[in-house]
Structures are given as C-alpha cells and as structure tokens.
C-alpha cells in the first residue's frame, strides 16, 4: 500500500475475509439495525444490493449522472439525502453508511482526489463512515492513478472501511481471500464482532496466493495492463468504426466496458435476449446494476484478443443485420 498508493497501513488495521462481498455484508451488519439505510451510487455492482437487503436495510439511491459519455457523482442529490423536508428529519437519522465503488463497476470511472474529498466531506460530516470497495484498484489504464479513500487524510482514514483483494488483479477469486483495512479501532471491533455471520473464514491457499501475488506479481501485472490497454483500444476502435449504434463509455480502470445500447431501440428484456440469442454473446444486462442501467450492457474484455474479436464480430453481424 505504501509503495503503490503512498498510504502507510499498520498491520493491526487489516482484517482478512473470504472475499470483498462477504466483507461488505459484514460491514453493513456491523453498523446497522434492520430498517436502517445505506447509500448506493447506481448503476453499481449488483451484489451491493444483496449486501444491504440481506441485513434488513433499505437502499437509498444517489444515482450517477451521465453527460457526454462521462459519469459524475451527483453531490447536490447526495446532500439532499440529509436535508429536512417539511420540518421533519429526512434520511439522516436512518442513513448509516455509503458503499463507494472505486474504481467503479460497471462504468469504469476512477474517482479522483477532489471527487473523493467532496464525497467524504458530505458523508463524514454527517458522522457516518464510508465503506469503499477498491477491488479493481490496480487495474488502471494509462495515465490514471488510484487514490485510496483512506489515504486522503487522517479524518478520512479513521472513518473508512477500505476493501481490497488480489482476486480481480491476479485472477484469484476462487481462493476467497481479501484484506479489509479498518484504521479506527471501534469500527474494527464492530466489524470483527460481526464476522461470526460468515459461513467460513479465509483459507490457507488464499492467504499464500495473496502473499505471492503481492510480493512477486508486479512484472506479470505490467504485462496484463499492457494487454488490457491494447484490448481496450481495439474494442473502442471496433465499436466506433463498425458498430456505431452502440456507444462505449470509455473506462479509466477495470477490465469491464459499459455499453450504451439505447440507440438500438429495445427494452431491457429484448436487448438481453438480442445479445444472447441473436448475437450469441453472454453480456450482463444493465438492469442488474440498478437505476440508470436500462438500455446498457456490461462486457468483459479480460480475455484473449481472438475471443474478443469473435465476440465483436458477432455483435456487429447482429446489430447491422438487415
């Protein structure tokens, strides 16, 4: 963390869990009671919804804004969640946390320091913590740098739960190992007390793989990022030249592409069927990611270019068919 992100993390801050999604569920459980609320910035990774609902909590949506092919946070809407309406308290007495996704899945945005500071000032100013899923933090395209939420300031550090894992970067999800960084002892104790709800703990193979990846994986990761960059460039050019009806939201991070298919004029169900049955490709339906996802599809480009090319050719043939 210090070498890559200039953040000195003390060993006692780290809690190991069998994955980030179980950790998110534990974090929600640790800080809420049934009926409380958690803010999500939709469209967002769909397991976030179950992490909130499985703990009997409600989702408060702070929908991201799409303008000219770029997503931004809606800070005015976020602030409104804590404002009184009609003389009655609104939201603030029930909202217990926000789950931040950075880099964001599925839109591929890497939130910069100023955006994170603005978010933190609003949320921490309300006396609630930020749960930050940063599992894609090492999968960055050229010219971008990741800023861990907890590294911004001591105040942010003490009011955050930062979730990381080698599973996306090094393709190790089956080994179920993640590191959850919780600098504040009270937050960490609450989190540890709630880990009893986990079905199982971290397995030895996962811990060994995590250590090996972080110690010896830099050269491999550099090669991976170079390959991903070339896959991204190839895909962006392909859509622009041969499938212009589908607009790609250009990512700054992750190996995922968010495809704007609204110009095809299909509802979400028809669009999903079109991709699976006519184009013969398995993408994720945008509706899975919540508000703002209708008419979109999520595509994974972390594959050999030969497979990527075949998938794009299938989409091209289906979209451009008379």
For 242, the token pair is: 């041969």
Cβ atoms of 175 and 6 closer than 8 Å: no
CATH of domain 2-216: 3.40.640.10
Predicted pLDDT of residue 199: 60
Per residue in 271-321, pLDDT (tens digit) is 999 999 999 999 999 999 999 999 999 999 999 999 999 999 999 999 999
Domain range summary for the chain, segments of one domain joined by +: 2-216, 219-319
Overall fold of domain 219-319: 3.90.1150
Q: Are 9 and 1 in contact (CB under 8 A)?
A: yes
pLDDT of residue 85: 55
Q: Is 110 exposed, middle or buried (0-12, 13-18, 19+ CB in 10 A)?
A: buried
Whose CA is closest to 272, among 255, 251, 252, 289? 289
Question: What's the pLDDT score for residue 89?
Answer: 47
Residues of the chain with pLDDT under 50: 86-91
Neighbours of 23 (CB within 10 A): 27
User: CA torsion 17→18→22→26, rounded to 10°?
Assistant: -30
- Give the pLDDT of residue 88: 46
Apex 25 CA angle, 192 and 89, nearest 5: 100
């Amino acid at each position: 963390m210090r070498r890559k992100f200039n953040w000195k993390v003390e060993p006692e801050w780290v809690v190991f869990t069998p994955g980030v999604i179980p950790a998110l569920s534990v974090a929600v459980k640790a800080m809420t009671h049934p009926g409380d609320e958690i803010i999500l910035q939709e469209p967002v990774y769909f397991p976030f919804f179950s992490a909130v609902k499985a703990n009997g909590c409600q989702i408060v949506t702070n929908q991201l804004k799409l303008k000219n092919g770029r997503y931004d946070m809606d800070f005015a809407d976020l602030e409104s969640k804590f404002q009184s309406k009609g003389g009655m308290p609104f939201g603030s007495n029930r909202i217990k946390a926000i789950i931040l996704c950075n880099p964001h899945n599925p839109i591929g945005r890497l939130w910069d320091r100023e955006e994170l500071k603005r978010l933190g000032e609003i949320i921490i100013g309300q006396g609630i913590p930020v749960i930050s899923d940063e599992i894609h933090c090492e999968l960055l395209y050229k010219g971008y740098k990741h800023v861990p939420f907890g590294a911004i300031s001591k105040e942010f550090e003490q009011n955050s739960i930062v979730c990381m894992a080698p599973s996306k970067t090094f393709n190790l999800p089956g080994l179920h190992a993640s590191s959850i960084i919780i600098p504040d002892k009270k937050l960490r104790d609450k989190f540890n007390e709630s880990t009893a709800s986990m079905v199982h703990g971290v397995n030895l193979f996962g811990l060994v793989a995590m250590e090996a990846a972080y110690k010896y994986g830099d050269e491999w990761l550099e090669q991976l990022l170079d390959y991903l960059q070339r896959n991204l460039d190839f895909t962006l050019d392909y859509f622009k030249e041969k499938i212009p009806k589908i607009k790609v939201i250009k990512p700054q991070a992750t190996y995922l592409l968010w495809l704007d298919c609204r110009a095809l004029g299909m509802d979400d169900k028809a669009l999903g069927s079109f991709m699976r049955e006519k184009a013969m490709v398995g993408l994720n339906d945008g509706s899975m990611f919540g508000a703002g996802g209708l008419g979109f599809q999520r595509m994974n480009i972390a594959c050999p270019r030969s497979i990527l090319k075949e998938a794009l050719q299938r989409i091209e043939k289906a979209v451009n068919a008379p």
